[in-house]
Amino acid sequence: MLIAKMSLKEVAKEFGVTSRTVHNWVRSHGLPTVCIVGKVFVEPDALRAWWDQQKQQTQKGAGDGITV
């Protein structure tokens, strides 16, 4: 089964941020990734779920969410 994946560069473009910001999201905010032959990808469904979680944390004032 083939599952669509986005590169970190594609995620950055989608959100209008730098690739460095996306790397920070992975490292500091738990953006889930998949590593295939040394390349890092994000599954679109996992990205949506992670983004929704970040928005909820920001709205609750938890301070752990991110802003774009």
Looking at residue 57, what is its pLDDT? 81
**Domains assigned to the chain:** 6-59 (1.10.1660)
Q: Give 7's DSSP letter.
A: E
| Confidence check: pLDDT of 2 > 60 | no
53-to-2, 3, 23, 57, 67 alpha-carbon distances in Å: 26, 22, 18, 6, 12
Looking at residue 9, what is its pLDDT? 95
pTM: 0.78
Between 60 and 22, the more confident residue is 22
Q: Report pLDDT digits (tens) over 3-34.
A: 689 999 999 999 999 999 999 999 999 999 99
Tell me how far apart the alpha carbons of residues 5 and 63 are, in angstroms, rounded to a whole number.
29
C-alpha dihedral (19, 10, 37, 27), degrees to nearest 10:
40
